Structure formats: C-alpha cells, structure tokens
Structure 1
Amino acid sequence: MAEDEVNYASVVFKPNQQQRSEVKREETVYDEVKVQNKATEQTPVTNVKKEETVYDEVKVQNKATEQTPVTNDVTLIYEIDETELNQLKENQTTLNAVNHNLTKLNNQLSSDNEDLKRNQTKLTLQMNNLTQVFNVLDKEVTNLTKENQKLKGKNEELKTQNKDLEAEKKNLTEQTQQMTTPWDELNVSRAQWSIDAYCPRENNNRKCNACQKGWELNSSCYATNNADQGEWKTWEEARKDCRGKISDLAVAINEEEMKIIREKSWQNNENKGYWIGLRVEDGKWKWLDGRNLTNNSWIDQSSPSDGHCAISLQNQGFKSVSCDEKNQWICKKKALSV
C-alpha cells in the first residue's frame, strides 16, 4: 500500500439466530462479520475492479457461560502514536495536579466555611446579648428622660420660689432699714426701762438693786406668781409668761436653791403647787438648763412619764403632774451686779 493510500472498511454484524437464553455452558457461537473494503480511484487493488466490494469473512468466537447472555459488543483497539500518548500522560499529570489543588482548595473552603459558621453563631449570641443590653439601656434612657422632665418642672418651681424669696428678701431689707431707727429707739427705751426697774428714782436720787421691783433676791431673783385661780396656767403657758419677763421657770442648781423654791411655794392647798423648770424628756427628768435631775429624792415619783412636769409644794417638795394641768408658777433670773 502506498504512503497516501486510504482504506475504508465497513463492518456488518449478523445477529445469531439462536436464542441467547438457550446457549449452553462452554458452547461456542460464531457470528459472521463481513468487512467491506472499498477502493478509490487513486488506490489500486490487485485483481479488484473499480467500485467492487469485497467481503472478508471474519468469525468471532463468543464463549458464553451457562447464565450469561451473549452480547454483540465489539472492542476496537486503536493504535496511538507515542507523541499523542506522551501528550495524554502530560495532560493527565496536569489534570491530577489541578485536581489535587482543587481538592486542597475545597478542603480549605470547607474549613473556612466551618469557621464562618462558628463565628456566625458567636456573633448571633453577641447580637442577642447586645439586643438585651440595648433594651435595658433604652428603658433606662426612658426613665431618665421622665426624671429629667420632672427635674425640669421642679427647677422651674424653684426658680419661681427663688424669685418670690428675692422679692421677700427685698421687702424684708426695706422693712429692716425702716425699723433701724425705731429699733434703736426701742433699745434706748429698754435700757431706760432697765435703769428705772433696777435703779428707781427716790427724791431725785437713784438707788440700784440687784432685783427689779416685785422680785426677791436669794442669790438669784425670784418672782412668785400668786395669780387668782381663774388665771392659773399650764406648764407651757407659765413658761411663756416667765420668758416675757426676760426670765424662765425656776430651776434648782443645789440643795439651797431647792429649799428656796420650796419655801416660796407657800400655797396651802395640798393638791396644787407652783410650776418650776423641771419636766420629763425622753423618759428622764430634765431641768430647763439641760441638766438631768440627779437627786431622785427631790421628787415623789421615781419612774418619770412623758408629758409630766414638776410642781413645787411647800410641805411635800416636788411632785409629778400632767403638764396640761393649771397651776401658779415661779420665775427666776440672774441678779444684777451693782
């Protein structure tokens, strides 16, 4: 055959006339294969005319097993030159490398995907926590806003009160300025009254005494108020009267003063006496000057009761009675040093 010769082959498969299920074990079946060789005008064939078809009979032996049906498959083996084979091997190597890289990339992407899922879970939890914190903060902001509104309202009220106080201060300042001269005159009048009270004028001469007129001197000045029964007072009322005379209800610092107070309580009525500056405070007997009663023998009741005050009886000493009772009273103040 010449170098440029082209061969054409036609393969015809002749089906086996016997049923495939009937083939027995080790039975040999031959199918007839006719191969047609068609020659072209430029490819001469010995003893073959132009366009003549020649069939070569090829017998293919199919060895069927007992339960394996015979098929008509034919395996064609092509001859590949060495260059193509090497190229295919190179392609296969390249594809294997690419496949390996793709496998590594896929594994890396899978790992990254798992990391992203874990991060997404963490972010979801953090988002939930932040949402809860935001809700708490939102409530606090709402409460602070309400409180701020209240404070603004109070601030406005305080501003109004401040303006009122400023106006009142201004009025009081003006009144004080207006009263300065009368107050000075009042002080002069009080000083004159004191002089007249302690140093009365006799025959155009003044003789000063340690106590003012109507008061008795016994180391201190005492005034026994022997008012009519209709003018008797409660303990608070009696004290108010004494304070109006620049004095207070009588207190006893020692045994001597206690005896003086008791002697001035000359009322003969055994059930009535004179208010003195001794009362119960917080379950204890206290004098008006803040001292505690240390000598319990001075009063007939050892267990003090709140709301009780002391009266002085000439023959009985001090006695505990209700402060709301009405009695006479004894005032005391310091004597004037002359």
Structure 2
Amino acid sequence: MLQHFSEQEDMVTVIYEIADTVRGHDPDTEKEKSDTERRAGEQHTGGDTACSRCCRLTAVCVVLLLCVLLLAAITVLWIKFYILNIEHTQLQTSYNNLTKERDQLQSNQLQSSYNNLTIERDQLQSSYNNLTIERDQLQSSYNLTKERDQLQKERDGYQKTLCDLYKWRCFSFNSSFYVMSNESKSWEESRKDCMDKGADLLIINSKEEQEFIGKQLVRHETWIGLSDREKEGEWKWVDGTPLTTAFWNGGEPNDKGGEDCVVIYASSSSTWNDSHCSKKFPWICEKPQ
C-alpha cells in the first residue's frame, strides 16, 4: 500500500511537470517574463495584458483537465488492481482447497488400498493356517496308516508263526481271522483256549460266512460260539447277541438229554446241531482283524 501511494505522488509530480511544459517554463521564469511584459505593456499599450491572462487561464484549464484524467486513470487502475488482488486471493484459496482435497483423496485411497491389502493378507494367512492344519492332519493320518500297516504286518507274521508252531489251520474271511484247532476239547475248554489267544469261539453273521466256514471244515463236527446255557431255548452268541439267522439241521435243535451247545457239521450244507457241552470236539476261534 505504501508503494502504491509513492507511485501516486510520482504521477502527480509528472502532471505538474507536464503543466509547466505546456506553459513553456518554470514558474520563476514565467514571473520574470510577466513582469517584463507588464512593464513593456505599460510603456506601449494595455491590450496585451488581456491576451496574456486568457492564455494563462487556458493553460490552467488544460492542467486541471489533465489532472482529472490522470486521477480517473489512477482510480480505474486502483479499482482493477483491487479486483485482481481479490481474484488472486480467491484463486489462491481455491487452489489451496483443491490441494487439500487432492491430498485427502490420495490419503483415503492409500488408506483404502492399505485396508484391502490387510484383509487379503489376513485371508491368505488364514488359508495358510488351514492348509497347514490339513497337512498336519494328513501327515498324522499317513503316519497312522503306516503304523496300522506295520501292526497288521507284525500281526500277520505273529499269526502265521503261531499257526505254524501249533500246526493249526488258519484262514481269513472279510475282516476276521480264523484258527481251527487240531485237537478236541469240551465247549467250555475250547472257548477258554480261544480267549487265551485273544479271540473267541466262532460267530457266524451271514450266509456267506456260513458257506465259507463249511468249506474249511475237515472234521465231522466242530464247536462254534452259540449256546442256550443261560436260558433254555434262548440261543445267544458268545458276545451276548441273540441268534437272528440260523442254519439248523432238520429236526434241530431238539435239546436231547440237555444239549445246550452248538456244533457245525462238515457237509455240503454245513448245518448246525445242538450237542452236550461236555463232549469233546475240535473248535474254531475267530478274531476281528
């Protein structure tokens, strides 16, 4: 603002210099000339004084007009400068606001990208953890499978050794392992021998198993794990389950003389017959594999 006032003072000075130029010289020279002309006029005539006054009045009018024009120009320039300054301030404010909005948008976009990446990272971490758990479970299952196979191999070897040692006849069907004795004992003694080996007397659960066992028999009669010793007529297997599917021979069971234990015949039909539990027959042990 001080600079603007300084510029105005310089302009006023210029205006006065222009006025002096129009008049032809500075005020002191004009005064001297005026005095000389007055004296000359007094000596010659009085008509030149009126003309000189007219010229001076004209010069003053011109100067005043120039001052008015210059003041108007300065006013217009000042108004334009003021308007431009306001527009500049507004533009600067708008620029600052746009800059802030741009920075805010960039910050929001970066934050959104960061959040999305964080979510993806957590999802990947969760998937990795799940896969790790599944891998460990599969590894555990694989190890258990290997252990089971190893135990089955050891069991089979033990069973084969046992069968070879006692010269028993051994065979398998579905998920069961069978041992057929080569001597004869009572039903109770036969069961005790099976239990000492970790097994029990044979339980027949289906027609297919009945036919398979019939093909393995070499003796005429062989003990199986079926009896009604607890209650007459209620036939149960050694595991406590009741009899549901029977393969009795014709006319059997007849409980002749207190027959409470069951043998299987070595015949094409491989039927059953009740017999005295104290009789001595071969037996078949069964052990689930």
Aligning the two structures, in what range does the TM-score lie when normalised by the shorter sequence?
0.3 to 0.5
Structure with the higher strand share, 1 or 2: 1
The two structures have a TM-score, normalised by structure 2, of: 0.39
Structure with the higher helix share, 1 or 2: 2
